Amino acid sequence: MALSTKNIRNVCLLGHSGSGKTTFSETMLFESGAINRRGSVEAGTTVSDFTNIEKERGNSIFSTLMHTKWKESKINIIDTPGLDDFNAEVISSLKVADTAMVIVNASQGVEVGTELVWDYITDFKTPAIFVINQLDHEKADFETSLDQVKSRFGSKVLPFQFPVNAGAGFDSIVDALRMIMYVFDENGGKPQKQAIPEEHLNRAQELHNLLVEAAAENDETLMEKFFEAGSLNEDELAEGLTIALANQQIYPVFCCSSTMNMGSGRIMGFINDIAPSPSDRPPSELEEGGILEISEQGPTVAFVYKSMSEPQVGMVSYFKVYSGRMQAGQDLANQENRGSERINQIFLSLGKARVSTDSLVAGDIGATVKLKNTHTNQTLAGKGGEVKVRKMSFPPSKIRVAIKPPGKNEMEKLMKMLHQMEAEDPTLHIEQSATLKQTLLHGQGQLHLDLLKYRIEKLNGIVMEFEKPKIPYRETITASAEQHYRHKKQSGGSGQFAEVHLRIEPYAEGMTDPAGLNVRSRTTDDLPWGGKLDFLWCIVGGSIDAKYINAIKKGIMNKMQEGPLTGSNCLDVRVSVFDGKMHSVDSNDMAFMIAATQAFKTAFENARPQLLEPIYDVEILCPDESMGDIMSDLQTRRAIIQGMDSDGHYQKIKVKVPLAEMYKYNASLRALSQGRAKYSRAFSSYMALPGELQKQLIKEVSSEELVAS
């Protein structure tokens, strides 16, 4: 019998690094019979974390798609990294998941990685289940972990289970939904079912009553039965809890030890019985507005949520079918570029292993290879399905580095590889900065970029070195100045002659016309790098012909692109051209461009020039015990504190920090907080660089120019 959308469960494993997600996924696969022996992270033998770099590091870097069967359900499992550097993998996985399973380390409680993924879960409005893992750890503390989950994530958190003997002797779980106790032997696996001991019965009954009430609240018929009978039978309870979970009205909490293989089977049973199928979730939003129902009968629509290049395979594209059925041999149209794609093969993924299949129904997740021109965040559709599934949004970069240029041939190969990886990773951005004369890489953290470097060097044999990126300073003026310049050149035949008189002033919105000048025309341009140039033509009497206006303005713009102080872009300047001279034979556009450039340069240097530096709004989330060290470090970075507040079990610090002081901040923050803090940043504005630093920077630039010459 063909698989139905109703029988699909798409589950995403999330949590802080070290919470045990990969081991938990391995145990799920073993318990369901998808694999016949459990691998380990330490030995590098897990189905997830199959790449060489993940085996070397001992943690997840990429999301991994796996699948298994439990009773009548096909369960797609996506294991995700726990480090903030790889948040693109988390976001893309949540895009296609119908249930988020948040793994919490029982010895550590709610960590900053848990806080981070919850923000994404909230954005996607994904039903969530908490699993308090590693209850066999000698420092496991279920009650404290549960209290933290409730405190941070609210009253919707409902424990369905609680452990007995948590710690080194952990062997039992009380299940308040089924009102039974599971007792495991030392090898874990399938437990014995026993009656709940007297000392735990009251707590179990209280929790059971809360679950029944939560189930009844979501359906009038169930509510009536609850009032009549005082309870619900097992089928009614399952029906009500499915509705509650699908609508994010409850967040169940389960117990397990994935290492000891205790509790995972019960959780998979819950996924089969209660977790929503794709058809239980709201319709998908479309780019153009409107919605798309998950329907087996509709036209074929699939969304590529992840792309990854694999050695000896090429580009592997992971997708979710949102409508209809995708079939091998089918031709689909890319809704972004209108290109046609032949789906030659469709695969079910089990980590690195892939099994060919003829088709996938709406709601299912799979993979294909060697698409010609389809990338992450794009929609493929058959005839009648010409829609675009709403794209994923990714956070802005937190770190940037410059690439030290290798030889010309190497640079061409390197850029080809970088652009390929940029197509795979939506949080990686490559910038060819003409202003800074550097190739910049923007990413989510130092580890993110270091691993990119590793992949290029190990897999492609290309050496890539990073260096400190330059700062995109801006130059402006704080006073007015007048200057004239005569350009005269004679070298036989016709020569060059132009003389330009101009006044420059700081530009401000709504400022009055310049005193003593008669403005004949004005253009106010938004500059590509920000700020404005206000250009006034004030020539009276025809001392310069109006046909040279564009040449003079171009000469000024040329110097504004590479300012007089440091070669940085100039902004917010008003230039009034009020006099000059020309020659009937020797004057031309080039002569007036040169004269305007030189007059502007000298006037700028005499108008109390000011360097401006980029300032970023930075928000840091950190534990109490790290706050003092982080604040002390911020003071050394010329940070301006904007505010502090508590956020759950963490402290939130809001500051303004110069970009020049943010180099390698990601690594510093990780060291100061033992990896428990996170931060985000966004450009705020340009502010004046302090005088001593301005002098120092100008001196450094002058020295570099002397060396270069």
Q: DSSP for 380-398?
A: EE-TT----BPPP--PPPS
- Is the domain 612-692 a CATH 3.20.20.70 member? no
Do 106 and 143 touch, CB atoms closer than 8 A? no
- Joined tokens for residue 376: 């992450």
Number of other residues whose CB lies within 10 A of the CB of residue 640:
12
Q: Which residue's structure tokens are 């189930």?
A: 215
| Torsion angle of C-alpha atoms 135, 137, 138, 141, degrees rounded to 10 | -40
Largest CA distance in the chain: 112
Give me the pLDDT at residue 667, please.
Answer: 86
- Contact between 510 and 547 under an 8 Å Cβ cutoff? The reply is no
- Residue 29: which residues within 8 A CB-CB, separation 6 or more? 35, 47, 66, 68, 77, 350
Rounded Cα distance, 573 and 604, in Å: 9
Q: What is d(CA 143, CA 147) in angstroms, rounded to the nearest whole number?
A: 6
- The b-or-e profile of 251-267 (16+ CB within 10 A means b, else e) is bbbbbbbbbbbbbbbbb
Q: What is the pLDDT of residue 58?
A: 85
- E strands, 99-201, in order: 99-105, 128-133, 157-159, 161-164, 172-175, 180-183, 192-194
> 101: which 2 tokens?
């399973």
**Taking Cα atoms as reference points, which of 633, 484, 490 lies closest to residue 552?**
484
Q: What is the pLDDT of residue 675?
A: 77
Q: What angle do CA 334, 320, 284 make, to 5 degrees?
A: 85
Do 612-692 and 399-467 have the same topology in CATH?
yes
573/33 Cα distance (integer angstroms): 71
Count Cβ atoms below 10 Å from residue 521 Cβ, excluding itself: 11
The radius of gyration computed from the CA coordinates of the chain, to the nearest angstrom, equals: 32
Is the domain defined by 475-607 classed in CATH 3.30.230.10?
Answer: yes
The domain made up of 8-214+250-280 has a fold known as Rossmann fold (3.40.50)
Q: Tell me how many degrees the CA angle 585-586-592 measures, rounded to the nearest 5.
A: 125
List C-alpha distances in Å: 663 to 426, 545, 615, 637, 688.
Answer: 22, 50, 13, 10, 19
- Report in angstroms the alpha-carbon separations of 554 from 115, 561, 596: 52, 11, 8
| Domain range annotation of the chain | 8-214+250-280, 287-381, 399-467, 475-607, 612-692
pLDDT at 705: 63
Q: What is the C-alpha separation between 467 and 587, in angstroms, rounded?
A: 46
Q: Which numeric CATH code is attached to 287-381?
A: 2.40.30.10
Q: Fold for domain 399-467?
A: Alpha-Beta Plaits (3.30.70)
* Global confidence as pTM: 0.86
**Helix, strand and coil percent figures for the chain, each rounded to 5:** 30, 35, 35
Residue 473's CB: how many other CB atoms inside 10 A? 24
Pairing of strands 157-159, 251-255: parallel
- Find all residues with CB under 8 Å of 315, minimum gap 6, and list them: 307, 308, 309, 369, 370, 371
b/e per residue 370-388 (b: at least 16 CB within 10 A): ebeebbbbbbbbbeebebb
The C-alpha angle 500, 502, 508, rounded to 5 degrees, equals 150
Residue 228 has a pLDDT of 63
Give the separation between CA 45 and CA 58, rounded to whole angstroms. 10
CA dist 516 → 288, 519, 537, 540, 549 (Å): 55, 10, 13, 12, 20
* Strand ranges, E, within 290-428: 291-292, 301-310, 314-323, 325-327, 330-334, 340-343, 346-350, 353-357, 359-361, 365-369, 378-381, 399-404
pLDDT value of position 227: 66
* Cα distance between the two ends of the chain: 77
Provide the angle, in degrees to the nearest 10, between the axes of the packed helices 408-424 and 446-460.
Answer: 120
- Dig out the tokens for 153 from the structure: 């994530």
Q: Supply the pLDDT for residue 706.
A: 54
- Give per-residue burial for 561-590: e unless 16+ CB within 10 Å, then b: eebbbbbbbbbbbbbbbbbbebeeebbbee
- In sequence order, the 6+-apart residues with CB closer than 8 A to the CB of 586 are 490, 494, 495, 496, 497
| CA–CA dist 652, 657 (Å, integer) | 15
Weakly modelled stretches of the chain, pLDDT under 50: 1, 709
For β-strands 340-343 and 378-381, DSSP reports them as: unpaired
pLDDT of residue 27: 95
Token duo for residue 534: 């206000």
pLDDT at 230: 65
Both tokens of 400, joined, read 């940037």
